[in-house]
Structure 1
Amino acid sequence: MNQNKNIEDIYPLSPMQQGILFHTLLSPNSGEYIPQVCLTLTGLLNIEQFKQAWEYVIARHQSLRASFHWERREQPFQVIYRQVNLPWQQQDWRNLSPDEQQDLLKNLLKTDSQQTFNLKKPPLIRLNLIQLTDQTYKLIWTQHHLILDGWSAGLVIKEVLDVYQALSVGKQFSLPKIRPYGEYIAWLYKQDLSTAQQFWKEQLKWFTTPTSLRIEKNLNSISHENQPEEQQVKLSQTTTSTLQSFAQKNQLTINTIIQGAFAILLSRYSGEQDILFGATSSGRPVGLTGVESMVGLFINTLPVRIKVPGQAVLISWLKELQNQQSEALQYEYTSLLEIQKLSDIPAGLPLF
């Protein structure tokens, strides 16, 4: 197909896409924005029908056919292609022992996460299906965060499995009609920025120094080999139930409690009472019909400014924080770069 005829649409980036593109270009080898999903599939699998299911879902969603461009334009933009090739790999490890399979899988996941994407060549995903036994498979789905958030990734997986299920039993299938990601971008650029700018300017008024953990960060040194260590902590069922009960009793969300605890922690580490950190919002506007089933990058990172007093009634303080969160969500469409320009923090320093 002719390159121009294969173009379906062209539109700007969302605020979060702008930020991720900036950091990707600043540190292209970090792998920070290349998440992986590793699924275990059991039972008889018709591989051709499974591939067809992926092709159907990719054709259904604009974001899965997007490329990104930033040269010779004042603002970066994304190009949506009508058709793209499915980036598919397939391997058969049935002759290997379980231990050998585990070692190979571990190495493959690491190698795959270090493989960058050409942002100008869609789709920004790749699939690798590995057969472990006659009825056991591993699917590695790697994507660039520019095109998807966690909510959207879950929608894609569900749709692929629904389509495959229908194909495998010879049923007609018809997924619900969805709105293209471009309609969200159009909505985004119609919002009243002046009101949002005034809100964030007031929120950050007189905050001049980023909250510091006294940890130096050199962006130029970030690579796959020296990524920060991650530690996952699973709360016990008792602790989780206690948190849920406390939240329900005091009409608080778990998110509010976690943010409050994090603010207290930052206050103690930094020695400051006026704290600023970033928090992720879903970015899916309630007023946009059908947004819950749209696939793309909607999340945004917003500044959360909290004053941690030496003496305060905990419940009242948390409720004040929750009210602040609700108000901020009205303006969650604002670009973090734009918010930073409105702050009193000197140019060249990060917000958090």
Structure 2
Amino acid sequence: MDLRQAPLLRVHVAADPGRTGRWLGLVQVHHLLQDHTAAEVVLSEVEAFMSGNGDGLPAPLPFRDFVAQARLGVSRAEHEEFFAELLGDVTEPTLPFGLADARGDGTGVRSARLRVDDGLAVRVRESARGLGVSPATLFHVAWARVLAGLAGRSDVVFGTLLLGRMNAGRGAERIPGPFMNTLPVRMDVAGLDVVGAVRSMQGQLAGLLVHEHAPLALAQKASGVPASAPLFTSLLNYRHSARRVHSGDSESDGTAGLTVLSAAEDRTNYPVTVSVDDLGDGFGLKADVVDPGDPELVCGLIQTVIEALVAALEAAPETPLYEVDPLSPVDRERVVTDWNDTGVVVGDVSVLGLFGEVVGRDRGAVAVV
């Protein structure tokens, strides 16, 4: 959606030519206007009017009350102090797959989904409960470990999505508007054991809640990353997703008279976006990645790491986080053994020999394609 072109909320409605009395709607909305909770509020109010119960809706609360609370709550100086302590010595951006463009429009994104094994999901919740943290904390640690591999660095920074309604005052759950915010998370996977990583992440996320309405630009300015470069280019969105009831080829969202025919498709300006859907019992993973990144690889790595992380927390909590392996045994065999088997003969010459021949002919030529 082009921010220079109004409106940022569009609803296209048409009668279904194949079914009498059935109407179809396509809703497009920019997150600068409202978040997912606000969309649910609007749909519930539409349903109330459709069923003749519009008069029973509560009086709307003004969004300006939230704006005032956000601006008058924590001072700018306090925001600057918090993020300077967190990011002051960060001088380089964290770029998974080397992707540095954080101003894209979501085109060219490839997506992949993966349902976390149900047995593993139970173990995740048990481990989180035993440590007195949320499952979201464990997934943040897991993504930090995966990101370290994808970015080729141990000290990583990524964005996390904050709901923005936790401390927004009375009735915040029913106010349409853009409450959510994106702020940075940092972890050095080389300096902590698995329990220490979980505790560190828990404290950091708790601190972000205090500063959940700080501008992202302020946080980036507090770092040592040049203003011309992004602080991070990956985003983690941990969200509580209501389980939908399937009906044929469609999905009901629980609202009488309304049926969701196609699930929401989210796009962000970040080239790597990971969403963790907390389904109440299980977990779903979704990765949106632009080329040359691989969304299926990202989902697989997260599941591998969360399983290894839980195993370490259960049996060896002193395990260094960097020893939590993001590669499954099959993937490790492929990378370490198969891809390094340069002794394989191609014709009468090995791969290493072919490489040498090219270098011998022209040292400036491309040796491997």
TM superposition score normalised by structure 2: 0.57
Shift of residue 344 of structure 1?
Answer: 1.1
Give the equivalent residue in structure 2 for 1:200: 83
Unaligned segments of structure 1, at least 5 residues? 1-23, 29-115
Deviation readout 1:177-200 (Å, 9 max, x if unpaired): 231112212222223111111111
State the one-letter code of the partner of 1:187.
Answer: Q
Please state if 1:211 is matched with 2:94: yes
2:10 to 121, 125, 130: 125
Deviation readout 1:222-255 (Å, 9 max, x if unpaired): 567x522111222243333332222223222121
Distance 1:322 1:209, change over 3 A: same
Give the equivalent residue in structure 2 for 1:347: 227
DSSP 3-state at the match of 1:241? helix
| Mapped partners of 1:223, 1:289: distance in 2 | 35
1:328 to 187, 208, 225: 208
Please state if 1:164 is matched with 2:45: no
Give the equivalent residue in structure 2 for 1:18: none
Deviation readout 1:291-345 (Å, 9 max, x if unpaired): 1211101110000011212661x23321221121101210111100121112111
Deviation readout 1:45-66 (Å, 9 max, x if unpaired): xxxxxxxxxxxxxxxxxxxxxx
| Mapped partners of 2:83, 2:132: distance in 1 | 26
Shift of residue 161 of structure 1?
Answer: 1.1
Shift of residue 163 of structure 1?
Answer: 2.4
Please state if 1:241 is matched with 2:117: no
- Pick which of 274-283 and 181-190 moved more: 181-190
DSSP 3-state at the match of 1:269? helix
Give the equivalent residue in structure 2 for 1:299: 180
Distance 1:210 1:123, change over 3 A: closer
Distance 1:327 1:311, change over 3 A: closer
| Mapped partners of 2:225, 2:105: distance in 1 | 28
| Mapped partners of 1:246, 1:152: distance in 2 | 32
Give the equivalent residue in structure 1 for 2:252: none
Please state if 1:147 is matched with 2:33: yes
| Mapped partners of 1:255, 1:351: distance in 2 | 22
Larger radius of gyration: 2
Contact 1:125 1:144 (8 Å CA) reproduced = no
Distance 1:195 1:252, change over 3 A: same
Give the equivalent residue in structure 2 for 1:317: 197
Deviation readout 1:252-297 (Å, 9 max, x if unpaired): 2121111100000111222322110001000124252221211101
| Mapped partners of 1:273, 1:219: distance in 2 | 21
Give the equivalent residue in structure 2 for 1:177: 59
| Mapped partners of 1:206, 1:281: distance in 2 | 24
Contact 1:210 1:351 (8 Å CA) reproduced = yes
Residues 233-312 of structure 1 aligned to structure 2 (within 5 Å): 233-286=114-167, 288-309=169-190, 312=193
Contact 1:178 1:290 (8 Å CA) reproduced = no
Contact 1:117 1:144 (8 Å CA) reproduced = no
RMSD after superposition:
2.5
| Mapped partners of 1:130, 1:246: distance in 2 | 50
State the one-letter code of the partner of 1:143.
Answer: V
Distance 1:256 1:189, change over 3 A: same
TM superposition score normalised by structure 1: 0.59
Distance 1:328 1:172, change over 3 A: closer
DSSP 3-state at the match of 1:233? strand
Shift of residue 123 of structure 1?
Answer: 6.8
Distance 1:130 1:315, change over 3 A: farther
DSSP 3-state at the match of 1:289? coil
Once the two structures are aligned, what percentage of the paired residues are identical?
A: 24
1:187 to 44, 59, 69: 69
- In the TM superposition, structure 1's runs of 4+ consecutive aligned residues that sit over 6 Å from their partners are none
| Mapped partners of 1:217, 1:198: distance in 2 | 27
Shift of residue 154 of structure 1?
Answer: 1.2
| Mapped partners of 1:138, 1:229: distance in 2 | 27
- Pick which of 143-152 and 291-300 moved more: 143-152
Q: What is the number of equivalent residue pairs in this alignment? A: 230
DSSP 3-state at the match of 1:321? helix
1:337 to 206, 217, 229: 217
DSSP 3-state at the match of 1:278? strand
Unaligned segments of structure 2, at least 5 residues? 233-369
